[in-house]
Amino acid sequence: MTSVKSICCIGAGYVGGPTMAVIAKKCPHIKVTVVDMNEARIAAWNDPDTENIPVYEPGLSDVVAEARGRNLFFSTEVDDAIRDAEMIFISVNTPTKTYGSGKGMGADLKYIELCARQIARVSTTDKIIVEKSTLPVRTAEVLRDILQNVGNGVKFQILSNPEFLAEGTAVEDLFSPDRVLIGGDYTDEGLKAIESLVEVYANWIPRERILTTNVWSSELSKLVANAFLAQRISSINAISELCEKTEADINEVARAIGTDSRIGSKFLKASVGFGGSCFQKDILNLVYISRSFGLKEVADYWEQVIIMNDHQKRRFALNIVRNLYNTVSGKKIAFLGWAFKKDTNDTRESAAIYVADLLLNEQAVVKVYDPKVEPKQVYADLDYLETRQPAANANGVACYEDPYEACKDTHAIAVLTEWDEFKTYDWQRIYDNMLKPAKIFDGRNILNAAELKAIGFQVRSIGVTN
């Protein structure tokens, strides 16, 4: 078997970009071409100043600077890149369907299908196709059906290689993953394809951390991993509400249970609710698949994780309204953070969007500061909900480059993202410039409540009785 020398990745997004940049860095002998139909995105990946690449991830611009132009290329010439590659990763978006059957639940596979048809149409040599996108279990069957029936007689092997990186730590996660998962057919050809991909990763990842399975286990494991992670957050958030009634402290409870090695301490941070492009979408997908097989109890069990998360976001927003004497009409509320977690500029499904939406319904004025999110993204996120006219969102929300300006003259501050810099602010200065009583709703439990109270703030944390 010959080693792979040229890789193409379709989709230059949050996964395709960083993943391929790291493969290119770690495998200088492999030519890696990342293609996308979005010209602006490709232009940004090719920006001479790597600080301007379209995905903000700590350490990523250095990786791109090292490999780009050497063996890493970004291009809109999708056909050429497909034709030249021996191995093609499909890393396009697989959002929740917004129309037709499965609306609001199932995965929309139209971008995946388009990729398969394009690959089948232009390929003139045998290729290994790697599912990098998160897909419903048995999608490889769909790909195979299209590739075998539309193609020019060339042979395709299909692998599933889901990505487990988390945003904000993408580079770290790609350099040193807990595991890499590769699923393929247990035929001679399938096993050869699996080994080709194992060989790519083995350039920097110990072989014992590269797991191989059948293709269906691999596809399903990705959905299950996200469901388990999100389930922990919904579980701790459910208990946070009980803590608020009982004088138990959720931080103490999390520490107490997390020291049990069978439970473990990670992903037990109570919050305003999880966001991000993956958890909700992938659980809905799992629920939809289970339901489509008639597994009602299984579907209902996992759906509860989403129901609890929606409740947590709403509960946080309503708590602000209640504490501001049941009316926030015309009141200014500062949002510290808009991204769905720290160290990323990604806002997809961020809790901030839903909290803002509810407060805008109550006619509050929302003043947003986020160190990495552009104002136009904030408005786009709210407009996407179609709750009100864009002009009303523009009227109700103001974005600031300076956190002190965002907090000035407000009735309350809500912490929506756990950016480290929020902990380092001059909180006395912020207090002095606010309306009194000055209130803080810490949706991430990152601020020192005792210090803030000593300054004079009224502080509401998640899962703590006030």
Ligand X SMILES: O=c1ccn([C@@H]2O[C@H](COP(=O)(O)OP(=O)(O)O[C@H]3O[C@H](CO)[C@@H](O)[C@H](O)[C@H]3O)[C@@H](O)[C@H]2O)c(=O)[nH]1
Complex with ligand NAD: residue 165 or 336, whichever CB lies closer: 165
Inter-residue contact 350 to 338 (CB < 8 Å): yes
Task: Say whether residue 163 binds ligand NAD (CB under 6 A).
Answer: yes
Half-sphere exposure of residue 315: CA atoms within 13 angstroms, side-chain side = 20
Residue 13 lies near ligand NAD (rule: CB under 6 A): yes
Residue 441 binding result from ligand NAD, ligand X, none, given CB thresholds of 5 to 8 Å by partner type: none
- Measured between alpha carbons, how far is 68 from 46 in angstroms, rounded to an integer? 8
* Nearest distance in Å: CB 36, ligand X: 19
Stretch that binds ligand NAD, among 58-66, 87-95, 177-185, 293-301 (CB under 6 A): 87-95
b or e along 398-413 (b: 16 or more beta carbons within 10 Å of the residue's beta carbon)? bbbeebeebbbebbbb
Contacted by 267, from ligand NAD, ligand X, none: CB < 5 to 8 Å by type: ligand X
Sign of the C-alpha dihedral, residues 393, 230, 185, 293? Answer: negative
Told to check if 10 binds ligand NAD by CB under 6 A, we report yes
Write the CB contacts of 461 (distance below 8 Å, at least 6 apart in sequence): 442, 445, 449
Annotation-wise, does 101 bind a ligand?
A: no
Compute the least distance from the CB of residue 160 to ligand X, in Å: 14
By CB under 6 A, which span of 160-168, 201-209, 363-371, 428-436 interacts with ligand NAD? 160-168
CA angle 155, 161, 166 (to 5 degrees): 150
| Window 254 to 283, contacts with ligand NAD (CB under 6 A) | 277-278
Judged by CB under 6 A, does residue 93 bind ligand NAD?
yes
Whichever of 9 and 462 has its CB closer to ligand NAD, that residue is 9
Determine the angle formed by the axes of helices 139-150 and 110-122, rounding to 10 degrees: 30
Where does this chain bind ligand X (CB under 6 A)?
A: 134, 163-167, 226, 229, 233, 267-269, 271, 274-276, 278-279, 340-341
Spatial contact of 5 and 86, defined as CB atoms under 8 Å apart: yes
Nearer to ligand NAD, 109 or 438 (CB): 109
d(CA 390, CA 381): 10
- 3-class SS at 227? helix
Is 278 an annotated catalytic residue? yes
Find the shortest distance in angstroms from Cβ 254 to ligand X.
8
In whole angstroms, how close is the CB of 394 to ligand NAD at the nearest point? 25
3-state secondary structure of 336: strand
CB 42 within 8 A of CB 12: yes
Shortest separation between residue 263's beta carbon and ligand X, angstroms: 13
Q: Which residues are catalytic?
A: 278
